[in-house]
Structure 1
């Protein structure tokens, strides 16, 4: 079982915001997480009092496929990727999550186990809220459940868009769609992803991704400020490519 799951058994409630970087900045991580953004202040304090924080280095695996889902895992800072590995060892990146995003899907299913593994792309700070604590919150605040349903619907729409993107046969168009989607979700102006992770996300060879990104740079659609960094400078132009 992954380290993140083992540590859940030893959780202890602590004063609200006890070691939270967001709290020290005058807010709390609850205010920066879409899942909790609309909660009443009292409910946020209730969850925060029982949260546990941890730090993990880049490259570490924090969840293995098949581990039980015992808590909501919130990315306080950094980037993680969810992925699956085929029998022949090929990695398929399902998603990349950053500050304020959370892993919680499947937590309420009868067989609540992870269907993927999770690795840190950078140094990552996590906040974990145990499933039992969140279930108690839902019982005390029925309106929270409605917000959860709305979020599930939004994320289903996102999943459908990704399926449509992966169905695009032309690599140039598929990559343009992916960069537009990532640009809309990333924190800050830049997309921080290695070419290999982009390739694994869109089902293309790294050489194909590299060649097309180089072409986008020549066309003035994107810039490469540094290794593993992309900046979309002409969204309209990229949208035109996606619509070709």
Structure 2
């Protein structure tokens, strides 16, 4: 997603403090994402001075598979999903990101293109930090590199957990593990995902997911609180299911 190729109709704000929820709260995007939370104040100021803010409507596609990776994409507010599409148009959801999370994988590789598409599940506000600005910040603050290495290790652990989850053959166990993982990463008490998105995330049929969630509900493990909204009631119970 090139910065000079922003979708038509999208609002763009350059710099810091332009209708930014984090700034109004006396914070910044940098303080709310793991990737930048440990940066020294001077490094944060360097990046914030060049950051660009964008706003998108629900359903907007902000990245197409094959687009060049030119910026770190920080979710200021809202939820986005990463996905791949098959030749017949079926979507396979890879991940869902929310407030304070960021897309940055592959930013420093030679072949910098997205291997997936990204669309908005809700109205979304983003903060874009160009690759060149990050590279300049690292050159000015070489001590920051170790923190980024630790962050990469954390992301690799997360990817390994996902692979292990998808390797679980029993649908009930796989879904329980997925709901536990999503519950840990949510910013609020509820999981906000449509049934189809959950199904594609865990590689199961929607009816299989629906049937098992209904069973979890009857067992008091989760509760459906609305369309596309799920509340985990018994984490230990779900853990027992995932490990059975």
Consecutive aligned runs of 4 or more in structure 1 exceeding 4 Å deviation? 2-5
CA contact (8 A) 1:176 1:239 kept: yes
Aligned to 1:6: 5
> 1:142 deviation in Å?
1.0
CA contact (8 A) 1:17 1:48 kept: no
> 1:100 deviation in Å?
0.5
> 1:19 deviation in Å?
3.5
Q: For the residues of structure 1 that align with 2:13 and 2:98, how far apart are their CA atoms?
A: 26
Aligned to 2:41: 41
Aligned to 1:228: 228
> 1:7 deviation in Å?
4.0
> 1:239 deviation in Å?
0.4
Aligned to 2:142: 142
TM-score, normalised with respect to structure 2: 0.94
1:186-228 CA distance string (max 9 Å, x none): 1111000000000000000000000000000000000111110
Aligned to 1:75: 75
**Alignment partner of 1:127 is 2:127:** yes
**Alignment partner of 1:184 is 2:192:** no
TM-score, normalised with respect to structure 1: 0.94
CA contact (8 A) 1:78 1:98 kept: yes
State how many pairs are aligned.
240
Aligned to 1:151: 151
CA contact (8 A) 1:57 1:122 kept: yes
Gaps of 5+ in 2: none
**Alignment partner of 1:214 is 2:214:** yes
Gaps of 5+ in 1: none
RMSD: 1.6
> 1:4 deviation in Å?
5.4
Cα distance, 1:137–1:234 mapped onto 2, change above 3 Å:
same
